[in-house]
C-alpha cells in the first residue's frame, strides 16, 4: 500500500519518563535487526523529512510518507490518512514523539533525508526511540527491501539471536542486519526450523573491501 504526497506534522517531546525509557533503551542491541523491528514494532514506514520547526523544548518535523510497510493497529494513525483530492484530512495531522538527541535514547532526523522508520503506537500517538529503525533510505539494501515487502512478515515466528539464527561473530552484526533474514525452513516430515537466509552479498560484506 503506497501513500504519496501525505503530509504529517511530527512533534518531538522530552517528558519526565525520559529516564525510564532510557533505561529500557540501553537494553537494545547495538544494531536492531530490521526483521526484529518489523515484527515487534507497531508500524514501519518509508518517509521523507521535509521541514522542521523548533520551539523549545519541542521540535516539530513535517514528513512525507512514501510507503507504509506495516500499518499500526489503530486505524486513525495511517490507514485513514489517504489524501482526498488535493486536500489532506485533519485526522492526518498527529505527533511522532522522540527523545532529545542528547539523551541515550534520543533520535535526530535530518531535513531532506529519506528514512526507513519503525516505532510503537501508544494512545493513538506514534513513538520512536533509539531502539526503533531510523535508517537513511539510501542505506537500505535490496535484501532488506525484499524483507520489508514480504519476507519479514512471513517469518515473524523466527527471531534473530535464537537457535540457528545467532549473530556470530558479533562484529559481523551489521552484515547480518543488511544481508540476512531468519526464515523458517521445512524438510520432509521434520518439524520446521529457523535458519539464516543470506544474500550473495553477505560474504562480500563480511570479508570487507
How far is residue 50's CA from residue 161's CA, in Å, rounded to a whole number?
Answer: 36
How far is residue 96's CA from residue 85's CA, in Å, rounded to a whole number?
Answer: 25
> Grid coordinates in use for 103?
539523551
158 is in an annotated binding site: no
Q: Which residue blocks in 26-155 are alpha helix, DSSP H?
A: 34-40, 142-146, 152-154
Q: Please list the helix, strand and coil fractions of the chain in percent, rounded to the nearest 5, in that order.
A: 25, 35, 45
Quick one: CA dihedral 26, 47, 178, 144, positive or negative? positive
User: Which residue, among 84, 132, 138, has the nearest Cα to 106 in the 3D structure?
Assistant: 132
> Grid coordinates in use for 207?
570479508
> What do you get for the CA distance between the two ends of the chain, in Å?
37
> Grid coordinates in use for 99?
527523545
The answer to whether residues 5 and 83 touch, using CB atoms and an 8 Å cutoff, is yes
Binding residues for Zn(2+): 23
Binding residues: 23
Amino acid at each position: 500500500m503506497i501513500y504519496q504526497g501525505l503530509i504529517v506534522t511530527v512533534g518531538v517531546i522530552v517528558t519526565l519518563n525520559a529516564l525510564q525509557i532510557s533505561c529500557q533503551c540501553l537494553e537494545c542491541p547495538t544494531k536492531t535487526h530490521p526483521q526484529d523491528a518489523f515484527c515487534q514494532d507497531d508500524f514501519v514506514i518509508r518517509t521523507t523529512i521535509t521541514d522542521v520547526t523548533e520551539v523549545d523544548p519541542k521540535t516539530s518535523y513535517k514528513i512525507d510518507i512514501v510507503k507504509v510497510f506495516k500499518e499500526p493497529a489503530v486505524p486513525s494513525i495511517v490507514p485513514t490518512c489517504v489524501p482526498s483530492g488535493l486536500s489532506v484530512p485533519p485526522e492526518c495531522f498527529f505527533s511522532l514523539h522522540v527523545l532529545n538527541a542528547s539523551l541515550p535514547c534520543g533520535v535526530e532526523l535530518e531535513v531532506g533525508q529519506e528514512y526507513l522508520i519503525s516505532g510503537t503506537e501508544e494512545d493513538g500517538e506514534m513513538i520512536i526511540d533509539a531502539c526503533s529503525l531510523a535508517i537513511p533510505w539510501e542505506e537500505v539494501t535490496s535484501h532488506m527491501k525484499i524483507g520489508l515487502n514480504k519476507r519479514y512478515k512471513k517469518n515473524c515466528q523466527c527471531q534473530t539471536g535464537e537457535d540457528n539464527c545467532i549473530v556470530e561473530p558479533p562484529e559481523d552484526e551489521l552484515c547480518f542486519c543488511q544481508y540476512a533474514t531468519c526464515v523458517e525452513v521445512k524438510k520432509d516430515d521434520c518439524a520446521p526450523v529457523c535458519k539464516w537466509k543470506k544474500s550473495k552479498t553477505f560474504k562480500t560484506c563480511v570479508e570487507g573491501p
